[in-house]
Structure 1
Amino acid sequence: MENDTFNADIIFIEGLKVNPQSSSPAFILLLLTYILIMVSNISLVVLIAMERSLQEPMYLLLCNMSINDVFGATAIIPHLLSDVFTPIIQRHIHYIGCVVQAFASHFHAGTSHMVLMIMAFDRYVAICNPLQYTTIMTHQMVMKLSVGAWVAAFILVAILLVLTIRLTRCRRAIINPFCDNASLFKLSCQNLLINHIYGLGSAMVVLGSSLCTITLTYLRVAMVSLSRKNKALNSRALQTCTTHLTVYLILLVSSFTPIIMHRRPEWAESGKVASVLFHVIPPALNPIVYGLQCKELRQKIVSVFHTDKVMNVKIHK
């Protein structure tokens, strides 16, 4: 009985295929990337929390994105690091741990799209209705929108995983770098029609909503900007919109690349790597993009480093 329970609860997971010669470089690269993600995103959140001048809607929403990126990277990367030096046949994860990892993976993706939609709305109000911006985008409104984004993503993913957990399992192997919903429900031999329909439907709702919202928002922003004669305002609008669109395009490319690669058998292994990069590339690049493109944020970061440098000089004197 104990062996049956063990066999039912332990899932063998393929993880990343790394040959022995590449294990150390892969581990170091992944570890350094994870450190970059943690340091850059957490530093950004701390900087915005400490600087009152940065506690504006756009930067508070950026905190949401940074916290979500830290969460998404932490759900995936540490487990991959532990598997790098483990032979494939010895890689396993408890079923409950696999469900938690799958939830975290999908929750990170859903929340990323939700937060970027809110950021697009923020830019729309700031550029198209500047006189009403402070009355519309209050701290209370930012809080409500942020909570709404996280709760909406939580509910969508919770239903997704509940539909999968109800299934009985007849397999114990996942051919994927980490656990996700599709890998979990493929462990079952039952009818998976409901899982396929809801999984595809919820993904289309999230992706479709973000694409439509951001496309329509920035078309309107472009029209308003072109109708204005104020070059300074247009330049500022273009800068903030370009930053946001860059982050969104990074997210879209990272989302669709593994989907496209999985359609071609000869690209299957590359598709597995691409699925990991979704939880690595956006979290690593987002704080860098915003740090370089947002003038106020860039100035605060420079001032912090300059202050530290001055203090060090005084101490050594």
Structure 2
Amino acid sequence: MIPLFFRLESFYIIGFQTLPYISIYIIFLAFVYVVTVLFNCLVIYVIVFNHCLHTPKFMAVGNLAVIDVILSTSIIPNMIKVFFMKDNFVPFNMCFVQMYVYYAFVTLESFSLAILAYDRWIAICFPLRQNSINTLQSMSYIIGLTWCFSLGIIAFAVGIMTQLSFCNSLKVFSYFCDYSSMFRLTCNDYTMQWTVGTSFSFLILVVPFTLICLSYVSILVTVFWMKSLDSRVKALATCTEHIILVAVFYIPLIIIFTISLDLHFIDEDLPVLSLSLASCTPPCVNPMVYSLKTKVIRNRALCKGKRGKKKHSF
């Protein structure tokens, strides 16, 4: 017998229902969103209109800034609409559009951090060949490849979700139409959710994180063999900002998923709250920690490494 296919017309977002003072948290996220958009747009503007910053490194930084703006825009304005305007109604198609945009740009965020790790790896491990290996053309190819892969793999995942039958409820227990919460509304076996969810988590988080770890192992080996202590300190100092970004993005997600698997939450709103904070904070922190280093921007803007005075720096 062919199973019936149930397609609902809409869903209702009902996350954060039991948390006190949720309005204060939403106000905080609104502030985070404004800061995220302003600082990242400033970074994009400076990079685009300053020819001194048209380098592979700053192409990767600009790519991260674009991703941060779109990622924040995909969730925070909708959260404000849901909890301040009390409009938690989401049409069927719009729900999956939001799911697609969010997960596509979380994937791109993860891979953009791997691209920045690649830039540091080339600069430190192959300093004499840096300009020939890490060119604007090669960086544009790498960025374009990650965009095609991320948008394609998430389109495939969301496409599978749209073909499932939804029969359990209209209520999505989350702050947006997220994958796991939506799957709980289907008539399908949860083993399928575990398999699909694990596979895509591996692709969008584990693979980039593994590449980042491998690049830093290689960097540490190279730094260890440097004869000068000053060279070691200088090389490692150029990685500080990137390491902070990796920690801000990955550690909260790892902790949340580990606790969710191993422990049972008394208040089921808490993991949703934690995940929302982990998703919204990195795009705000990124430009302040990495991109808006005043010294770097000023040095580049003043073209301190002009032709004839080209001096290699990590």
- Please state which band the TM-score falls in when normalised by the shorter chain: 0.7 to 0.9
Give the equivalent residue in structure 2 for 1:147: 144
Secondary structure of the structure 1 residue equivalent to 2:176: coil
Partners of 2:85 and 2:25 lie apart in 1 by 13
Partners of 1:20 and 1:251 lie apart in 2 by 26
Q: Check conservation: 1:10, 1:92, Cα contact below 8 A.
A: yes
Partners of 1:166 and 1:192 lie apart in 2 by 16
In the alignment, structure 1 residue 93 sits paired with structure 2 residue 81: no
The 3 A distance-change label for structure 1 pair 65 and 136 is: same
Give the equivalent residue in structure 2 for 1:201: 199
Give the equivalent residue in structure 2 for 1:252: 250
Q: Check conservation: 2:19, 2:269, Cα contact below 8 A.
A: no
Give the equivalent residue in structure 2 for 1:309: none
Secondary structure of the structure 1 residue equivalent to 2:164: coil
C-alpha root-mean-square deviation of aligned residues, in Å?
Answer: 2.3
The 3 A distance-change label for structure 1 pair 181 and 242 is: same
Tell me which moved more, 61-70 or 78-87. 78-87
Give the equivalent residue in structure 2 for 1:312: none
What are the Cα deviations for residues 42-86 of structure 1, in whole angstroms up to 9, with x where unaligned? 101111112222222111101111111111100000010112224
Deviation of 1:291 (Å): 4.0
Q: Check conservation: 1:111, 1:153, Cα contact below 8 A.
A: yes
Residues 129-208 of structure 1: matches in 2 within 5 Å? Answer: 129-170=126-167, 171-208=169-206
Tell me which moved more, 226-235 or 276-285. 226-235
Partners of 1:167 and 1:95 lie apart in 2 by 12
Give the equivalent residue in structure 2 for 1:273: 273
The 3 A distance-change label for structure 1 pair 111 and 291 is: closer
Q: Check conservation: 2:98, 2:177, Cα contact below 8 A.
A: yes
Partners of 1:224 and 1:241 lie apart in 2 by 13
Q: Percent identity?
A: 23
What are the Cα deviations for residues 248-268 of structure 1, in whole angstroms up to 9, with x where unaligned? 111112322432443422252
Aligned match for 2:110, one of 109, 113, 130 = 113
Tell me which moved more, 234-243 or 162-171. 234-243
One-letter amino acid of the counterpart of residue 94, structure 2: G
Aligned match for 1:220, one of 215, 218, 221 = 218
Deviation of 1:284 (Å): 0.7
Q: Check conservation: 1:257, 1:271, Cα contact below 8 A.
A: no
The 3 A distance-change label for structure 1 pair 137 and 41 is: same
One-letter amino acid of the counterpart of residue 223, structure 1: V
One-letter amino acid of the counterpart of residue 282, structure 2: P
After TM superposition, the score normalised by the length of structure 2 is 0.85
Residues 295-314 of structure 1: matches in 2 within 5 Å? Answer: 295-297=295-297, 299=299
Give the equivalent residue in structure 1 for 2:49: 50
Deviation of 1:30 (Å): 2.1
Q: Check conservation: 2:16, 2:22, Cα contact below 8 A.
A: no
What are the Cα deviations for residues 176-218 of structure 1, in whole angstroms up to 9, with x where unaligned? 1111122222221133544431221121233222232111211
The 3 A distance-change label for structure 1 pair 234 and 292 is: farther
Q: How many pairs align?
A: 293
Partners of 2:125 and 2:19 lie apart in 1 by 54
Give the equivalent residue in structure 2 for 1:311: none
Q: Check conservation: 1:160, 1:181, Cα contact below 8 A.
A: no
Partners of 1:22 and 1:181 lie apart in 2 by 23
Give the equivalent residue in structure 2 for 1:78: 77
Structure of higher RCO (CA pairs closer than 8 Å, 6+ residues apart): 2
Consecutive unaligned residues of structure 2, counting only runs of 5 or more, are: 1-6, 303-314
Consecutive unaligned residues of structure 1, counting only runs of 5 or more, are: 1-6, 304-317
